[in-house]
Amino acid sequence: MCLGLPVVVACASSGPPGPSVAPAVAAPAPLEPGDAIQVSFSREPDQSGQYEIDESRRVALPFLDEWSVQGIPPDTLRSRLLAAYRSQLRNQTIDVRLLRRVRVLGAVQKPGLYLVDGTMTLADVVAQAGGATSEGNLNDVRVLRNGTQVQADLRGGVMAFEQLHSGDQVYLPEKSWLSRHAATMIGATVSAAVGLIVVLTR
């Protein structure tokens, strides 16, 4: 799947876990209100920008007026937009990226709302929020969706756009108390063991 590659136009882009767990969907879901479409034009840079989808699931785009995105799969939507621009503009590079709005919470440096594009992995989403704090558990990222906890994988380069839905919450929990204090506990245990050996050998 390609959601963000430029195209050259030759004729005229620790918190509360959910009560249940659901598998992540295989196919990317359509865009929703609050998401955005980012377009870039090599010859009209003043028209380049991010254009937000409104509550009626429509978006006003430069040169194309309003478009409805309701129920259209992302791959299909991007292809249609590029075809429409191909018929309007000539001899320039056009980039169309589809952006999902998600909230990043938990043990990250800058919690808040972020737009996720098709080139980003879940690790990139966490990095966009400033990365994990010293107490963040990167091995246990969670995606909260409509009261459920969706399985996610921060490792292995999993693409965020394919796993995330609009309005999802990406939650990074803190490490367990044992994990955060393991080094201190090991040091204390070693010191105690050494002290005991010294006493026993006197």
Whether residue 102 is contained in a domain is answered as yes
Structure tokens at 168: 């999802």
Separation CA 13–CA 121 (nearest Å)? 16
Whether residue 40 is contained in a domain is answered as yes
Position 140 scores a pLDDT of 82
Tell me which residue has tokens 């709005």. 101
Position 7 scores a pLDDT of 47
Structural domain count, the chain: 1
Position 98 scores a pLDDT of 95
In angstroms, how far is CA 90 from the centroid of its own chain? 33
Whether residue 33 is contained in a domain is answered as yes
Residues with Cβ within 8 Å of residue 98, at least 6 apart in sequence: 3, 4, 13, 31, 35, 37, 38, 74, 77, 78, 117, 118, 161
Whether residue 171 is contained in a domain is answered as yes
What residue numbers bound the domain in which 155 lies? 7-12+28-177
The ranges of the chain with pLDDT < 50 are 1-2, 5, 7-13, 22-25, 180-181
Whether residue 105 is contained in a domain is answered as yes
Position 128 scores a pLDDT of 95
Q: Both ends of the chain: CA-CA distance in Å?
A: 71
Whether residue 182 is contained in a domain is answered as no
Whether residue 185 is contained in a domain is answered as no
Whether residue 87 is contained in a domain is answered as yes
